[in-house]
Amino acid sequence: MILDGVTLALVQNRLDNISQQMGWVMTRTARSPIFSHAHDFSCFIADARGEIVSQADGIPIHTGGGGFAVRALLEAFRGDIAEGDAFVLNDPYVGGGNHLPDWVIARPVFVDGEIVAFTCNRAHQSDIGGGAAGTYNPEAFEIFQEGIRLPPLRLVARGTTREDLWQLLLVNTRTPHFLDGDLRAMLGSTRIGAEQIGRLCGQLGRDTALAYFAGILDHADRRFQEALRGLPSGIYRGEAWFDNDCFTAMDIPILVALSVSADHLTVDFTGTAPQIRGFKNSSLANTYSSVYTALSSFFDPSIPRNSGTFRNVTIVAPEGSLVNPRPPAPMTMCTVFPACQIIDAIWQALGQADPERSCAGWGNSSFPICSGVKTSGETFVMYHWAGASGGGAVRGRDGFPQQGGVNTLCGLVIPNIEAFEQLYPVRIARQELRCDGGGPGMYRGGTGVSYEVDVHRPVQFSFRGEGSSKFPARGVAGGGCGATGEITIRTSDGDLFVAPPYGIRHVSPPRLTMVSSGGGGWGNPLERDPALVVRDVRDGVVSADAARDTYGVVLQRDGWRVDLPATEARRRTLRGGHVCPDPSAVGESQS
C-alpha cells in the first residue's frame, strides 16, 4: 500500500492525541496525588507486536520501555487473548516491567476479531508492600524486599474483573484505597484509548490503519537516521560513576561505547560494573528507556519517540551487569539512579561526536524522606524536593539553577515552601542559590541551592540519592565541573552527622542542611561574555575570585563594571598557562 504524507500526519497526530486523552482521563480520575500532582505515569499505544506507535503523554524516563511489557504479556498469553481482556504486570524480570512500583495496565484492541493495538498505562503506585512504606526501600538487597511481584496477569477477562485477583492486589498494599481507585482510573483510561483506536480503524479501514501504524514507525526510523547521518562515523565513549552500592563506599562504573555508522547506532555497555547489592540496578526495560531518553533529548525534539525511532539502535547490555541484572537483584531506584548516570554517559559520548550539541552533566540530587507522626497523631511522609540540584549547561543557555532530575528533564515540579509548611511539621529557613556551585563555562552550570529546614518532630530519615556523590556533574567542550553537595543533620539532642547516601536513621527533631550539587558548564569559561560574568558576581552566584581566576574577568573598583584592558590581559595569561583545570583531567583523576 502506498502511504501519503498527509494521512500519515493525520494518523500520527490522532494517535498522539489519543494517548494524551488517556492521560487527561487518568489525571482527572486517579486518586493518589502522585498522578494529579507529579504526573508520574505514561500512557502509550503499542501495535499488535508490542511496538510502541505513540507515547505523547508521560515522563521522559518512561520513553519506549513499555514495549517490553506488551511483548512479555504476548509471550505469556499468546493465542489466549480475548476481546474485553485487560492485563496488569510490574515485574522487571518476567513481566517486562521497569521497576516494581510502576504497574502497567495493557488492554488489547480488537477490530474484526483481530488484535490491532494495545492501549497501555504505566503508573507509579503509592504503595506496593515490601520492606518500606512508599515503594522505596533503601536497605533492600533482594527484589523480594521491594514489594509484590506481578508477572503478566489477566486482571479483566472478557469484560469481567477477576475479583479474587483484585483482592490479592489490595491486601498487598499499605494504601488499598489509593490502589483501588488508581487501578480503576488506569483501566478507564485504557478503555477510552481503546474505543478511540477502534473508531480510527473504523474510519480508515483496518488494513489501511495497520499500514499507517507501520508507516509511522518507518517514518520515525527515517527521521532518526537523518539525525544520525549528522554524526561522523566512529566509536565514542562515555562513563558515569557511583561512589557507593547503597551500603558501602566503592567506585562503580557505567561504561558505554557508541558505534556510529551512517544508518546504525550500537550502544554497548560492556565493561559496566556487575550488578550491585543495593537497589540501584537497572532493569533491561529501564536501561532501554534511559538510552532512548538520552538519544531523544540530544537530537531535534520534533523527531517522534516511538519504537520505529530506535529500530536501528542496537543496545548491548551484558547479563549480570548493573544495567541488566539477574534475579533477585533489587532495582527500585533505577528510574532515577542509574537512569541519570546512563543518560549522562550517553550524552558524554554523543558530545564527542557533536561538540556543538553536547550537554554538560546535570547535578545529581538526593531526595531524603522524613516520616513521623504529627502532634495530632496523623502520620506524615515528606520528600525534601526543595534541596534538588542544578542543571547542566548547553550551548546557548546556562544550566537551570534547580531542577528535578535529568531523568524527567524538569518534568518534576518542586513544591512551594509554603505548601511544605502547611502539610508537614516543619519550618524552612532557606532555599537559596549557591555561590560558585555551577560549573564554569562559556555557558555556566546551574548553581544548585542551600536548603535548611527545621523538622519539629522526631522522624525516621530514609536517605536515597547521589546528591553528595564525590563525582561532580561533568563539564563539556572546555567547561568545568559543577560543585559537589553535602547533607548534614543536627538533632535536637545535639548530634551532628553527615548523612549517608542511602539508609535509614531515627533521630530526634532535626535541622537538615543540604547543599545540592551544581550542574556542569559548557565551553571555555574564558569565552564567557564578561558582562554575564559581572552579572553573576553582582548576583552573588560567582565570586570575584572565580571571576578573576576561572573566567579571567577583572572588575573595576566599583565592582559592577568590567575592566576591559585588564580582562583581556588576564585572559591572555590564563590561556597561556594552566590556571583553569582541564575538566577532562578532573574526570579522569576521579575515575
Partner 1 sequence: MTMATGPASWRVGVDVGGTFTDLVVASDELGVRVFKVPSVPADPAAGVLAALERAASGLGMVLEEFLRSCALLVHGSTVATNTVLELKGARVGLLTTAGFRDSLEIRRGRRSNPWHHREPSPLPLVPRYLRQPVRGRIDREGNEVEPLHAADVESAARLFTEEGVNSVAICFMNSYLEGAHERAAAAALGKHWTGRWISVSSDIAPLMGEYERTSTTVVNAYVAPGTVGYLQTLDRRLRDLGFAHSILLIQNNGGAVSVEQVADRPVTLLLSGPAAGVGALEYYRRAIGSGDLISMEIGGTSCDVIVMSDGTVPVTDDLTIGDHHLSIPSVEVHTVGAGGGTLAGVDGAGMLFVGPRGAGARPGPAAYGLGGREPTVTDAQLVLGRLRPGPYADGSVSLDPDLAAEAITKSVAEPLGVDLDAAAAGIVRLLEQHLLHAVQRLSIERGLDPRRFVLVAAGGAGPMHGAAIGRLLGCRRVYVPRVAGAFCALGMLHSNVRHDYVQTWAGHLEAASVEHLDVAYLGLEERARRALAAAGFAPGARLEREVDLRYLGQQWDVRVRLDGPSKPDPERMRAVFELEYDRLFGHHQPGGIVEITKLRVVGIGTLPALRPRDAMRAAAPAQPIERRSVYLDAARGRVLLGVYRGGDLRPGHRLSGPLLVEEDTTTMLVGAVDVLEVDDASNFVIELLAEA
Contacts to partner 1 by CB under 8 A = 4-6, 8-10, 12-14, 17, 20-21, 24-25, 27-29, 33, 36-37, 59-60, 181, 219-220, 222-223, 226, 296-297, 301-302, 388, 394, 396-398, 400-404, 408-419, 421-422, 427-433, 449, 452, 535, 538-541
Q: How far apart are CA 307 and CA 310, in angstroms?
A: 6
Name the 3-class secondary structure at 585. helix
Read off the C-alpha cell for 449.
Answer: 541551592
Q: How far apart are CA 457 and CA 372, in angstroms?
A: 7
Q: Name the minimum Å distance from CB 451 to partner 1.
A: 10
- SS in 3 state form for 453-485? EEECCCEEEEEEECCCCCCCCCCECCCCCCCCC
Q: Name the minimum Å distance from CB 34 to partner 1.
A: 10
Q: How far apart are CA 393 and CA 466, in angstroms?
A: 19
Our CB check for partner 1 shows the closer of 250 and 373 to be: 373
The full DSSP string for 365-433 is -B--EEEEE-TTS-EEEEE-GGG--PPPPBTTBPPPSS-S-TTTTT-SPPPPHHHHHHHSSEEEEEEEE
Our CB check for partner 1 shows the closer of 416 and 508 to be: 416
Q: Name the minimum Å distance from CB 248 to partner 1.
A: 32
Largest CA distance in the chain: 81
Q: Name the minimum Å distance from CB 239 to partner 1.
A: 22
Our CB check for partner 1 shows the closer of 433 and 514 to be: 433
Q: Name the minimum Å distance from CB 260 to partner 1.
A: 18
Q: How far apart are CA 123 and CA 187, in angstroms?
A: 11
Q: Name the minimum Å distance from CB 56 to partner 1.
A: 10
Our CB check for partner 1 shows the closer of 71 and 223 to be: 223
Cβ(102)–Cβ(126) under 8 Å? Answer: no
Q: How far apart are CA 157 and CA 16, in angstroms?
A: 28
Q: Name the minimum Å distance from CB 406 to partner 1.
A: 9
Q: How far apart are CA 148 and CA 536, in angstroms?
A: 50
Whole-number Cα distances in Å, 436 to 99, 168, 275:
37, 53, 36
Name the 3-class secondary structure at 42. strand
Read off the C-alpha cell for 129.
Answer: 508492600
Our CB check for partner 1 shows the closer of 96 and 390 to be: 390
Our CB check for partner 1 shows the closer of 241 and 298 to be: 298
End-to-end Cα separation, the chain, in angstroms? 54
Our CB check for partner 1 shows the closer of 55 and 332 to be: 55
Our CB check for partner 1 shows the closer of 199 and 572 to be: 199
Residue 73 CB-half CA count within 13 A? 29
Read off the C-alpha cell for 485.
Answer: 553537595
Q: Name the minimum Å distance from CB 423 to partner 1.
A: 8
Our CB check for partner 1 shows the closer of 384 and 571 to be: 384
What does residue 171 show for φ and ψ, rounded to 5 degrees?
Answer: -75, -5
Q: How far apart are CA 489 and CA 512, in angstroms?
A: 5
Q: Name the minimum Å distance from CB 532 to partner 1.
A: 11
Q: Name the minimum Å distance from CB 588 to partner 1.
A: 27
Q: Name the minimum Å distance from CB 502 to partner 1.
A: 23
Q: How far apart are CA 49 and CA 67, in angstroms?
A: 9
Q: Name the minimum Å distance from CB 317 to partner 1.
A: 24
Our CB check for partner 1 shows the closer of 244 and 293 to be: 293
Q: How far apart are CA 29 and CA 19, in angstroms?
A: 16
Our CB check for partner 1 shows the closer of 14 and 237 to be: 14
Our CB check for partner 1 shows the closer of 74 and 294 to be: 294
